[in-house]
Structure 1
């Protein structure tokens, strides 16, 4: 069992979405949080001195749509490139004119590259695109990913982040780790973070004494704790909720 005894005082509960609150599904738009996890997230967001932020590679609008959450649950999208309402620079334009032009060039190149590759899909994001190969035959997926690695991923100004059966390409350099660092300073809080993908390691490697990091699923990790799947994480979130469940005074 994960030791949650030290998580008193101000706490930032930062959570990836896909593979953490929601099981991984073939069609990304079909993802939804497990009911138990959704209930825990909403309860934690109402607890005293507790700030709940979803930190995802999805764009903000997409993240809000699939998660079903709204304030006081806060959101960071595009691997830390978009801070939602109530957080830091939410009113600042995401891309410069030069970055927007590069994104348009990137869109054209990736569209041509994946054309005819069965099972490969492009996900359009505010800061770039993601190439998903989860539903492609292994040889097709690897062929596409290799072409992306040798092509657009090498362009000046493009930041490529590989995850499970996906490459995210953004026209600005961001990471979930730098986003969580900024949130930590914003709230003056310890951190509880749960993630499942290689992109979440940028958070796990930055956690400090007194923080708690939970890896969901298999794979090498810098996290001190691990659960097998989103269902097991929901029990951890329920336990954390029970420790911080006193509602905020209105």
Structure 2
């Protein structure tokens, strides 16, 4: 059950009002929030996209940022060192679905797509990216046969991300059963082609090793010289970023871990300093930080 503070942040009736900041559940989290508010201009705000800024929907192509996300980000971004959206999606897709391009006040925004393999920044307005791993093309060719052989040719949806391929089971007749049935076959397919499988909320993503949100976050913190970091996520793919924040905290850089809570994934809420109720709660937290940062 949400605390009174979490209810304040997630009450739909408070969407356009100032919500109080929550008290983080851990000492590290309280230190992280205090450091962020004391030195916002030296802080990095890092956010997952799907499930964190954008509600999860049955068709991933129809995902869009929460309607209050842009106002919250434009209120917060000028007050901090940078806002980074770290996502498994291609960077240009996250930019389109988020509506980030050409928005006044978001000059400090960077999108790290494909777990950091791609980068878009609001100042330059263009994506930089390396060539795709050759194993992705091989997986793309083999995948239809694998799905057919495992009775998953219908009801699943394959998302080609360029640098990765994801199989979504949310629209299958038995989403969880299909997800479990595909785990081992897709893991074998990934291994044969030098890739790994990243499980998520009714999705199995095949991507190159060494690409994860923890690496992307750590590298950007170093590049930026950030003295404090907030990371918000909702899914298993965000756990490496959580681990990166834990490492930064152990090395003396304050950090705050935020979970965009859901009933589908509990691993993040068990480790987070602050749990809010989905993207609406994340947006209200960002607005509250912007208001408190002065």
CA RMSD of aligned residues (A): 2.1
Structure having the larger proportion of residues in helix = 2
Name the structure 2 match of 1:239.
288
Match of 1:200 in 2: 238
Q: CA deviation at 1:92?
A: 5.3
Return the TM-score normalized by structure 2. Answer: 0.74
2:89 is the alignment partner of 1:63: no
Mean CA deviation greater in 3-12 or 203-212: 3-12
TM-score after normalising by structure 1: 0.86
Secondary structure class of the residue paired with 2:93:
helix
Contact 2:119-2:129 at 8 Å conserved across structures: no
| Distance of 2:201 and 2:128 partners within structure 1 | 31
Counterparts of 2:43 and 2:204 in 1: how far apart (Å)?
A: 31
2:162 to 119, 123, 126: 126
Match of 1:5 among 25, 34, 43: 34
Using the TM superposition, give the Cα deviation of residue 64 of structure 1 relative to its aligned residue in structure 2, in angstroms: 1.3
Structure 2, gaps ≥5 residues long? 1-21, 24-29
Q: 1:153, 1:159 within 8 Å by CA — same for their partners in 2?
A: yes
Q: Is the 8 A contact 1:19 1:230 kept in 2?
A: yes
Counterpart pick for 2:203 among 158, 166, 190: 166
Q: Is the 8 A contact 1:52 1:74 kept in 2?
A: yes
CA contact (8 A) 1:11 1:50 kept: yes
Structure 1 residue corresponding to 2:137, chosen from 100, 104, 108: 104
> How many residue pairs end up in the alignment?
237
Where do residues 47-62 of structure 1 align in structure 2 (5 Å cutoff)?
Answer: 47=79, 49-62=80-93
Q: Is the 8 A contact 1:205 1:223 kept in 2?
A: no
Matched, 1:175 2:212: yes
Partners of 1:183 and 1:39 in 2: CA distance: 24
Please tell me whether the aligned partners of residues 127 and 172 of structure 1 are also in contact (alpha carbons under 8 angstroms).
no
After superposing on structure 2, the runs of 4+ consecutive aligned residues of structure 1 that deviate more than 4 Å are none
Alignment correspondent of 2:186: 148
